[in-house]
């Protein structure tokens, strides 16, 4: 084989490290979201723990923890979207009296809870997505940093950061574009000993 047809060793090394930075950046972002991608917020009359994690199927889990003065508790899940992200919303507390009509309506069934979170949780959702975005960037940069240590190329940090942001951004866009709340009409809460947040 003609030696002139082979790529220079320096160029091969560049692409090798670039691919490694991209892979570790994307993996770092997913690990960061899996480990820390949750937060607890007030949503109307409810205190809700929101969580996002990588998963092989696009499901949303809804849960209501057993709470004093609250008769209904349970957990359910529905195949709400496509992609490789799963979401979980767990009611961990009540603001005020559990017997208030607003609380009763919100927890009547999965559709009611999902609707309450969508309509009254806009601020909570923004805060949660901001947290996920920061985790995505930090995880991606960490993955790139691991490669940057080899050869001390700081651009690997930015390559990893960008790779993580693009990966999570694409997965989030797919979930948002395909999300179907009508799937909650097909399921009901079923009893659980304790629907702990983060399970």
pLDDT digits (tens, 9 = 90+) for 145-177: 777 666 657 777 888 888 899 999 999 999 999
Average pLDDT, the chain: 86
The token duo for 155 is 């651009």
- Structural domain containing residue 126: 15-186
Asked whether residue 5 is domain-assigned, the answer is: no
Asked whether residue 137 is domain-assigned, the answer is: yes
Asked whether residue 22 is domain-assigned, the answer is: yes
The token duo for 157 is 């940090």
Asked whether residue 196 is domain-assigned, the answer is: no
Side by side, the strands of the sheet bearing 38-43 are: 38-43, 46-54, 85-94, 60-64, 74-78
Asked whether residue 9 is domain-assigned, the answer is: no
What's the domain count of the chain?
A: 1
DSSP 9: H
Asked whether residue 173 is domain-assigned, the answer is: yes
- List CB contacts of 141: < 8 A, sequence separation 6 or more: 25, 28, 157, 158, 160, 161, 164
At residue 1, the pLDDT reads 47
């Amino acid at each position: 084989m003609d030696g002139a047809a082979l790529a220079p060793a320096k160029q091969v090394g560049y692409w090798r490290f670039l691919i490694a930075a991209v892979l570790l950046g994307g993996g770092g972002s997913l690990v960061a979201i899996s480990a820390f991608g949750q937060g607890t917020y007030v949503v109307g009359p409810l205190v809700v723990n929101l969580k996002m994690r990588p998963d092989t199927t696009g499901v949303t889990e809804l849960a209501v923890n057993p709470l004093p003065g609250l008769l209904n508790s349970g957990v359910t899940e529905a195949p709400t979207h496509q992609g490789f992200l799963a979401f979980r919303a767990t009611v961990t507390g009540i603001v005020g009296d559990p017997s208030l009509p607003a609380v009763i309506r919100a927890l009547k069934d999965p559709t009611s809870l999902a609707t309450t979170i969508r309509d009254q949780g806009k601020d909570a959702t923004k805060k949660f997505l901001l947290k996920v975005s920061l985790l995505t960037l930090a995880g991606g940069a960490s993955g790139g940093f691991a490669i940057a240590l080899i050869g001390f190329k700081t651009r690997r940090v930015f390559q990893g950061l960008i790779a993580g942001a693009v990966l999570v951004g694409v997965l989030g866009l797919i979930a948002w574009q395909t999300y179907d709340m009508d799937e909650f009409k097909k399921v009901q809460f079923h009893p659980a000993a304790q629907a702990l947040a983060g399970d």
